[in-house]
Chains A and B, each alone.
Chain A
């Protein structure tokens, strides 16, 4: 006898305010790293606090902050909704959902405290920032392709494959990962 599909119960949504002014060591080595984000990074990794007290990014109106523990399905739903709202095409929205979920999965695996997700976008790109108190020790994490039947290590590699740009900052106080996706150009007249 087939029982009805299980209905999931999700953890309640919790809003979190990411700690402001945390000094983060820059570990982004990618030539693709956008000049825009580099401009907000002071030399040597110590950065001046930008608007809103977040040293790593400019203020943007309408951004959102979302705290999570193990409710990754809810995280994915939020990312998908914002990605579509920002104008990301369906297949790229799916990619961004996958990337954020993989990063947030690391919080579930390794961090001993909740993570926070921030999303913002302008006309150029949508950015998802995931912060937690875990530490990534390998500066090349996700930069090498795992062997085809490897039993681990695909997560961050996938993140690097699907996103237009990935920034990672990690030290003893925590890890910040920023995923950038370019938005399609608006048609003239629209």
Chain B
């Protein structure tokens, strides 16, 4: 197992065209979780990068992964598939994925596709970490 640093430590940032993703290891009540913050616009032109990044994080076998969508202005169906793929992989290995504070355009696609019934959506990272 990779030792997860205490508190908040940014592992890396990755600029993917219009998309910025940062990954942080955090802890809530002694339980570690991976926080992925996605900002910008996620569409078919940067989905491959997003999928690879999420695959990498999922392969670390976190028990909980929280994706903060508050900085994401737009998400299309291909980016949604990257989230659904991460959710399925995590689920298979006994982990949990949660989404946090989608903006209206992102909330709309989550609702339309009923992805928000498959992946829990929380108002804040603290809420999601508390489960």
* A residues apposed to B, CB below 8 Å: 1-3, 5-6, 8-9, 70, 72-73, 76, 91, 94-95, 97-98, 101-102, 105, 108-109, 146, 148-152, 154-155, 158, 161-162
A148 to B18, CA, bound (A): 27
Given A5-B39, A8-B18; A154-B113 close (CB under 8 Å): yes
A155 to B40, CA, bound (A): 20
Report yes or no: A108 in contact with B76, Cβ–Cβ below 8 A. no
Of the candidate stretches B52-60, B62-70, B77-85, the one touching chain A is: B77-85
Number of A-B contacts (CB under 8 A): 87
Report yes or no: A2 in contact with B10, Cβ–Cβ below 8 A. yes
- A3 contacts which of B13, B43, B74, B105 (Cβ < 8 Å)? B13
- A158 contacts which of B19, B77, B117 (Cβ < 8 Å)? B77
Report yes or no: A149 in contact with B44, Cβ–Cβ below 8 A. no
For chain B, the bracket of interface size reads: 35 or more
Given A73-B18, A98-B105; A152-B81 close (CB under 8 Å): yes
A170 to B44, CA, bound (A): 22
Within the complex, what minimum Cβ distance (angstroms) separates B71 from chain A?
9
List chain B residues, Cβ under 8 A from A161.
112
Within 8 A of A (CB), among B8-52: 10, 13, 15-20, 22, 39-41, 43-45
A70 to B17, CA, bound (A): 11
Given A94-B105, A152-B81; A6-B41 close (CB under 8 Å): no
A3 to B45, CA, bound (A): 22
List chain B residues, Cβ under 8 A from A152.
81
* B residues apposed to A, CB below 8 Å: 10, 13, 15-20, 22, 39-41, 43-45, 74, 76-78, 80-81, 84-85, 87-88, 104-105, 108-109, 112-115, 117-118
Report yes or no: B43 in contact with A154, Cβ–Cβ below 8 A. no
Jot down 21 A-B pairs with beta carbons below 8 A, ordered by A: A2-B13, A5-B20, A6-B13, A6-B16, A6-B40, A9-B17, A72-B43, A72-B44, A72-B76, A73-B43, A94-B104, A94-B105, A98-B74, A98-B76, A98-B108, A105-B44, A108-B44, A108-B45, A148-B118, A158-B109, A158-B112
List chain A residues, Cβ under 8 A from B18.
8, 73
A70 to B76, CA, bound (A): 14
